């Protein structure tokens, strides 16, 4: 199974701008990227990121043991967005450094449960998680044919300049 993620340049710019903003209680911010799903071949999926949605300040919980902790309102909003638009959702946050980002223990523990919830309301969509750094990315996704998270093979920003974030 293979999946490439391509983000519109405007979506990537919106995500970076929002995720870089300070938050009153959280040390980092979270957002969601809406993705359309296509197939390049039977086992090669293409996720097209076409929209970015910020998590409102009030949907964060004050939980200092994590960089950011979003509450049920934020997750319900993401699930409703799937129902309203039919677009899959990629949870996105920023590790503010250069170089390849790595998921933290918290990311690896909590992300599968979130993605499982998204799959319940959008079983025909691709969902997942993406971590951006200032110049690279890490991503795992699920697709309708496989509900197990697997690494995206490419994360590309479509625009000028064209950016390859996980080479």
Partner 1 sequence: MSYTAEEIAELKALCPEAAEGKEGSTTVLVLPSLSLPSGCVPPVVDALLWPGMRDNYPSRLYLSQKVVKPGAAQPNWNSSARILERNWHAYSWNLNRTDLRPVQMVAEHLRGLQ
Binding site for partner 1 (CB under 8 A): 22-23, 26-28, 64, 67-68, 95-101, 104-106, 133, 136
Distance (Å, whole) CA 14 – CA 12: 5
Q: Please state the closest distance from residue 31 (CB atom) to partner 1, in A.
A: 15
User: Is cis: bond before 161, omega within 30 of 0?
Assistant: yes
Contacts of 146 (CB under 8 A, 6+ apart): 1
Indicate the helix (H) or strand (E) that contains 120. Answer: helix 105-121
Distance (Å, whole) CA 41 – CA 43: 6
Which one, 68 or 157, has the nearer CB to partner 1?
68
The answer to whether 1 and 145 are in contact (CB under 8 A) is: yes
Angle between helices 72-85 and 105-121 (to 10 degrees): 40
Which one, 88 or 101, has the nearer CB to partner 1?
101
Its sign, for the CA torsion 126, 13, 108, 63, is negative
Q: Please state the closest distance from residue 29 (CB atom) to partner 1, in A.
A: 10
Which one, 80 or 98, has the nearer CB to partner 1?
98
Q: Please state the closest distance from residue 97 (CB atom) to partner 1, in A.
A: 3
Which one, 44 or 109, has the nearer CB to partner 1?
109
3-state secondary structure (DSSP) of residue 28: coil
Q: Please state the closest distance from residue 2 (CB atom) to partner 1, in A.
A: 26
Which one, 134 or 146, has the nearer CB to partner 1?
134
Q: Please state the closest distance from residue 109 (CB atom) to partner 1, in A.
A: 11
């Amino acid at each position: 199974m293979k999946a490439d993620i391509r983000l519109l340049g405007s979506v990537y710019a919106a995500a970076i701008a929002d995720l870089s903003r300070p938050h009153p209680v959280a040390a980092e911010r979270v957002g969601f990227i809406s993705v359309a799903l296509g197939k390049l071949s039977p086992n090669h999926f293409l996720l097209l990121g076409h929209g970015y949605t910020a998590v409102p300040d009030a949907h964060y919980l004050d939980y200092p043991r994590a960089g950011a902790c979003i509450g049920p309102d934020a997750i319900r909003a993401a699930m409703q967005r799937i129902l309203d638009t039919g677009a899959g959702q990629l949870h996105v946050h920023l590790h503010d450094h250069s170089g390849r980002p790595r998921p933290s223990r918290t990311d690896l523990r909590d992300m599968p449960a979130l993605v499982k919830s998204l799959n319940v309301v959008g079983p025909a969509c691709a969902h997942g998680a993406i971590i951006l750094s200032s110049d690279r990315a890490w991503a795992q996704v699920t697709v309708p044919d496989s509900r197990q998270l697997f690494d995206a093979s490419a994360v590309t920003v479509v625009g000028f300049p064209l950016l390859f974030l996980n080479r």
